[in-house]
């Protein structure tokens, strides 16, 4: 190989590695924006983070495509917590903290997986007249995301959002004395107008019952050490 | 263009893209350090994160330049919470958690914008004799930052820190039953020796009243999709 | 220098800078995985994040090598909180949130330092029969990590994990009324079968008493400005 060819090969390699880091940042931006949009009930913005054929796994049910995802976020959550309104509502808190990202981009840079932790702080202040039915006046929730992302025409989007509720807590009593008010889905859409399109097939009982949510990636030390020994 | 010229052009492009990722990391480091310095009342270190002509927006008032910023952090906050002392004080908690960064570096890499979420956990343990006046013995606070950064002689600094208080909570009663003790500034410096230099012009009422704090960036999926269609 | 040589030199420089960003990501992945593994008591996975000769500093004692680290995580923590079991246990919460990373890679890219904040939310739901002795039924804890990492045969590992407990809180009463149940180590292994291998020499009293935990890095603005003036 000539020196010029070698330089071209090296440039292509560097560009690919650099592109992977740019992908990581693009995906963090998408997921962190997901949280910021939900803070203020910007559910159209949430919806637009998803690919057309994306799916959301929530409470052991799958919401399919933009129609299904809209049913979950707009018809159910936005309606329940904010009467379908967009934007900040006085006395209403719905902070969606997103953090602890571990993102793995596929070698061809066309898909990626990402694990995140979410912590939710929510409630209705005493001044607020509207109160979501069946929800504590002030509550906390924690969950793990194991999501898939896809690059469509060069733009990263969420392909599959899998949110696994870890625990819920009525603020006043705490997680040790709260049973999750969210339970696995029982009835599909359209029989349940807010139900999922199909079941995952594995019904995950919610807090205080627990299921392990395995990480999507190989052990960051052992896997590489073994690969090195094998290689 | 010769092959050599093409390689040079490619190298310059890669270096620029790489530089943008380095900028992102430099800015995360600055903002995360901001939180770590405040944890232990290192307010000189906080001050030195700001450009000489920087501004801090706090409670609808603007603190201008190092003199104004010192007034806010040292004369007011450090004095109120820790009697003007630097360093860890037994029984005193003032954790400043910084997270969920979305950073946008300008094309010329001379300025940047960054959104962060801050969560504060604070209070005075029973053993502590000093108690800040008018503050709950244990409290939580959450806010959104939409900050500007600038590169001065090659070094990134905070140009404008805009902290928008989202809610405050007395730990014992929670956010549903707490009104923010911090209210929009009413009196300017020097009439109020701790007041801001000028008003933003938009008085943001604090919790339980809410204002939307728009993200500084275009929608990460839609904007790019549209740009692609247009281009 | 010929144009070809200049391009080769530039490529080497870019690869080194790119490698540093990849190192940052590798280290974030290790530390964030540390938290995810502990969430579900995957202590073998935790152990395998450490270099063979690694050390863990905990409560002013040092646990040395894999044998010592196993004693701390498996013999002590896993036994106390989950009766030595791995995996999710119904009614048991031990969330290990990891965040606010500031990572500094050495120029030779063979070692690195990282500061992180950890927040722990733990407890045993009413349905759980087992209760860890001497631990509140629901609790919070916060700490700062100042860790060392090392690259061994090209793979990043934890070299030294230094966790400094900042505060603990019984959920019901809060941090203002809780004394940390964890106190500095008093007896070494093997006299204490769960004790550290040696003392750090500096006994850090725990909450409500506080010690400053300095950041490992130079001030991100001032240090660079001074270096620039000097250079």
Contacts of B163 (CB under 8 A, 6+ apart): B56, B57, B58, B118, B143, B144, B145
Give me B221's structure tokens. 């999926």
Q: Of C88, C157, C172, which is closest to A221 when you measure between CB atoms?
A: C157
Judged by a CB distance cut-off of 8 A, whether residue C21 touches chain A is: yes
**CB distance A21–C26 less than 8 Å?**
no
Region A203-213 average pLDDT: 92
Residue owning tokens 């006994």: C203
Judged by a CB distance cut-off of 8 A, whether residue B167 touches chain A is: yes
pLDDT of amino acid B227: 75
What separation in angstroms does the CA of B179 have from each of A56, B133, B155, B189, B210? 36, 16, 40, 25, 12
pLDDT less than 70: residues of chain C: 229-231
Q: Count the alpha carbons within 13 Å of B86 in the hemisphere toward its beta carbon.
A: 8
Choose among C136, C40, C44, C46: nearest CA to C92. C40
Q: In which band, very low, low, confident or very high, does the pLDDT at B231 lie, cut at 50, 70 and 90?
A: low
Residue C83: helix, strand or coil by DSSP? coil
pLDDT by residue (tens digit) across B108-154?
A: 999 999 999 999 999 999 999 999 999 999 999 999 999 999 999 99
Q: Count the alpha carbons within 13 Å of C167 in the hemisphere toward its beta carbon.
A: 26
CA distance A189 to chain C (A): 30
Do the bridges between strand B50-58 and strand B155-170 make them parallel or antiparallel, or are there none, so unpaired? parallel
Contacting chains of B (3 CB pairs or more, <8 Å) are: A, C
**CB distance C174–B123 less than 8 Å?**
yes
Give me A57's structure tokens. 């796994």
pLDDT of amino acid A52: 97
Contacts of C222 (CB under 8 A, 6+ apart): B45, B48
**CB distance B125–C175 less than 8 Å?**
yes
Tell me how far apart the alpha carbons of residues A68 and A190 are, in angstroms, rounded to a whole number: 11
**CB distance C40–A212 less than 8 Å?**
yes
Task: Tell me chain C's radius of gyration from C-alpha atoms.
Answer: 21
Q: A25 lies in which domain range? A: 3-230
Spell out which residues of chain B touch residue C115, defining contact as CB-CB under 8 Å. 36
Residue in C closest to B15 by C-alpha: C14
Q: Alpha carbon A108 to chain centroid distance?
A: 23
CA distance A157 to chain B (A): 6
Number of domains in chain B: 1
Contacts of A152 (CB under 8 A, 6+ apart): A51
**CB distance A154–B228 less than 8 Å?**
yes
Q: Of B99, B100, B220, which is closest to A30 when you measure between CB atoms?
A: B220
CATH number for position B92 = 3.10.450.50
Q: Count the alpha carbons within 13 Å of C6 in the hemisphere toward its beta carbon.
A: 9
Tell me how far apart the alpha carbons of residues C40 and C48 are, in angstroms, rounded to a whole number: 15
Residue in C closest to A221 by C-alpha: C49
Tell me how far apart the alpha carbons of residues A74 and A219 are, in angstroms, rounded to a whole number: 38
pLDDT of amino acid B35: 98
Mean pLDDT of chain B: 96
Interface ipTM above 0.90: yes
**CB distance C212–B40 less than 8 Å?**
yes
Q: Kindly state the helix (H) or strand (E) to which residue B97 belongs, with its residue range.
A: strand B92-105
Q: In chain C, what is the straight-line distance between the N-terminal and C-terminal CA atoms, in Å?
A: 25
- 3-state SS track over B3-48: HHHHHHHHHHHHHHHHHHHHHHHHHHHHHHHHHHHHHCCCHHHHHC
Q: For B201, phi and psi rounded to 5 degrees? A: 95, -15
pLDDT by residue (tens digit) across C126-136?
A: 999 999 999 99
Judged by a CB distance cut-off of 8 A, whether residue A1 touches chain C is: no
> Starting at the edge strand that comes first in sequence, how are the strands of the sheet with C138-152 ordered?
C92-105, C111-124, C138-152, C155-170, C50-58, C61-64, C198-199
**CB distance A210–C90 less than 8 Å?**
yes
pLDDT by residue (tens digit) across A110-147?
A: 999 999 999 999 999 999 999 999 999 999 999 999 99
Judged by a CB distance cut-off of 8 A, whether residue A86 touches chain B is: no
Tell me how far apart the alpha carbons of residues A174 and C172 are, in angstroms, rounded to a whole number: 8
CA distance B30 to chain A (A): 18
């Amino acid at each position: 190989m000539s020196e010029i060819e070698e330089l071209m090969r090296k440039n292509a390699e560097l560009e690919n590695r650099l592109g992977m880091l740019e992908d990581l940042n693009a995906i963090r931006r998408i997921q962190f924006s997901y949280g910021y949009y939900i803070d203020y009930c910007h559910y159209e913005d949430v919806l637009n983070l998803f690919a057309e054929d994306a799916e959301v796994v929530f409470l052991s049910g799958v919401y399919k495509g933009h129609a299904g995802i809209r049913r979950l976020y707009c018809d159910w959550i936005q309606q329940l917590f904010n009467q379908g309104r967009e934007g900040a509502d006085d006395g209403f808190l719905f902070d969606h903290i997103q953090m602890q990202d571990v993102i793995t981009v596929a070698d061809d840079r066309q898909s990626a997986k990402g694990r995140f932790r979410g912590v939710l702080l929510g409630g209705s202040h005493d001044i607020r007249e509207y109160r979501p039915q069946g929800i504590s006046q002030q509550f906390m929730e924690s969950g793990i995301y194991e999501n898939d992302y896809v690059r469509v025409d060069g733009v990263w989007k969420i392909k599959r959002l899998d949110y696994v509720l870890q625990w819920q807590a009525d603020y006043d009593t705490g997680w040790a004395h709260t049973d999750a008010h969210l339970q696995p889905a029982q009835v599909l859409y359209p029989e349940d107008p807010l139900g999922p399109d199909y079941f995952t097939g594995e019904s995950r009982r919610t807090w205080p019952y627990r299921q392990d949510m395995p990480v999507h990636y190989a052990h960051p030390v052992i896997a590489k050490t073994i690969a090195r020994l094998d290689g």
